[in-house]
Amino acid sequence: MSHRILIVDDEDDIREVAALSLETMSDWKVDVASSGAQGLARAIEFQPDAIVLDVMMPGMDGPATFRELQKNPRTAHIPVLLLTAKVQSSDQRRFADLGVKAVLFKPFDPLTLADQISSALGWE
């Protein structure tokens, strides 16, 4: 089944690898945004089935963007997966407590990223 995914990350290399991975391995329709503010706008317009949201971004970071998504009735229903290079367990607990669907870790394996997302969202 084809899904619509929005990737929000300020790092263009990560954004492009993730988009390439999901489009190639799963035939999902992918949209990208390079900041939290742009991600909010794209989420309203694109209405993705899920959002992969980087934690550390300049300006509005991932957790702040997630809170804004939750406040907006047009995006509050969209499941969010945080993407982070932070590996400390205290960070992981903090992110999980936000109420996101899952926390994905960088570096991810481009061959299995779609499987990870599907598994986290019960799409299998």
Partner 1 sequence: MDSAEQSALTEALDRLWARFIPQIEERVAVLESAAAALNSGQLSVSQSEAASAAAHKLAGVLGTFGLDKGTVLARELEIEYSRVGGLDPAGAGRLIEMVAGLRAMIESHK
Give residues in contact with partner 1 (CB under 8 A). Answer: 11-14, 16-17, 20-21, 24-25, 56, 85, 87, 106-111
Nearer to partner 1, 108 or 123 (CB): 108
Cα(15)–Cα(75) distance, integer angstroms: 21
Nearer to partner 1, 47 or 92 (CB): 92
For 104, phi and psi rounded to 5 degrees? -105, 150
Locate all alpha helices (DSSP H) within the chain, ordered by sequence.
12-26, 36-46, 62-71, 89-97, 113-121
Cα(55)–Cα(80) distance, integer angstroms: 11
Nearer to partner 1, 21 or 65 (CB): 21
Distance in Å, CB of 107 to partner 1, minimum: 3
Distance in Å, CB of 57 to partner 1, minimum: 12
